[in-house]
Amino acid sequence: MKSDSLIVIGENFNSTRKIKATSPRVVDEEGKAGIVYTDLDGNKQFLDCSDIMPDDPAERHSFQIPHIAQALRNKDMNYISWAIKNQEVHGANIIDLCVDEMSVYPEERHEWIKWTVQTAQTVTDKIVAVDSSDSTTIYAGLEAHDGSKGRPAINSFNLEDGRQELVPMAKEHNALLFANASGNSGMPQNAEERIANLVTCMDMMDKDGIEVEDRFLDPLVFPIGAGPDFGKHYLDAVRELRKMYPDVHIFGGHSNVSFGLPNRKLINEVFVSLSIVAGCDSMMIDPVMNGVEGLTSFKFAADALFGLDEYSMKYLKFIRSGEKAKRVAKQ
């Protein structure tokens, strides 16, 4: 996958996603409790959550609604379509799909990921990434994917036992392959371990003939609230990996950095900007909450300023394309 622009991986379609039951979006309508939202046509819609909402007000105060999982269980196509398309219209190039929380049983997870992949492909023509901690679930998702509608992506391969089989699987299914820096004995403790683990991953992908432009390296973002050097470790690894592999994609789950801290949006915005400067050309973020247009503009400007864009040609092309789009919109 080649791109001069920022590649945005939408992270929102994950069965772990939750909304506080005290959110103003959560209401009681006609004896039913659920989530109110406005679809892309401007119509008010309602996701019924009555069957999981606590009756006790005290319990409801601390309850969080797993809204993606609820929409999947209800087979609520309005909410599912909105959750996917809303990311696309806000700039996502790849839609990540994870259903791991739907069941502890592998066979049931397989059925969920098959249905979700097939459903997503009726909603969007963007690349869908099959995301799971279980390799067999990823394989089930790839088998359900319709290659005539585009390429899939795999999230993700690493050095943990059983994950290496995803490399030939990616080759077999013509998939983009995400690789993260987790090692065979645990999480990396510093930048050096991140780099070493991803170098090993790169060697494995070399052997299986995965095209460099189809590789996405994730040095792993950990919350800075849990370790003061975690942000620095990630950024140092990105800088070094970009020197080593100028043509590979580098990304991360950038919103992880602010977990547990107040005003997460501020931390996320600064961290994403620093990541782009360090060498990230891809982001796994919430595209609805993070201004993708602004981040893309920042990347083109930063590349020009750092001498990565000869004579600022890509920057000029980007600016002119935006101006043209505005002129067309006014007609």
Strands 249-250 and 215-218: parallel
Residue 304 Cα distances to 139, 310, 311, angstroms: 41, 7, 8
**CB contact set of 280 (below 8 Å; sequence gap of 6+):** 238, 250, 251, 252
Identify the H or E element spanning 249: strand 249-250
CA distance 232 to 224: 9
Q: Is 155 left (phi over 0), alpha (psi -120 to 50) or beta?
A: beta
Q: What is the pLDDT of residues 134-143, one digit of tens each?
A: 999 999 999 9
pLDDT higher than 90, residue 54: yes
Q: What is the pTM of this model?
A: 0.93
Q: Are 156 and 97 in contact (CB under 8 A)?
A: no
What counts of helices (H) and strands (E) characterise the chain?
11, 13
Q: Are 13 and 25 in contact (CB under 8 A)?
A: no
CA distance 317 to 322: 9
Would you state the pLDDT for residue 290? Answer: 85
Q: What is the mean pLDDT of the chain?
A: 94
pLDDT higher than 90, residue 323: no
Q: Which residue has the tokens 């949006």?
A: 265
Q: Are 129 and 152 in contact (CB under 8 A)?
A: yes
Would you state the pLDDT for residue 4? Answer: 86
The residue among 83 and 327 whose pLDDT is bigger is 83
| pLDDT average, residue stretch 4-31 | 94
**CB contact set of 308 (below 8 Å; sequence gap of 6+):** none
CA distance 157 to 218: 10
Q: What is the pLDDT of residues 103-122, one digit of tens each?
A: 999 999 999 999 999 999 99
Q: What is the pLDDT of residues 218-263, one digit of tens each?
A: 999 999 999 999 999 999 999 999 999 999 999 999 999 999 999 9
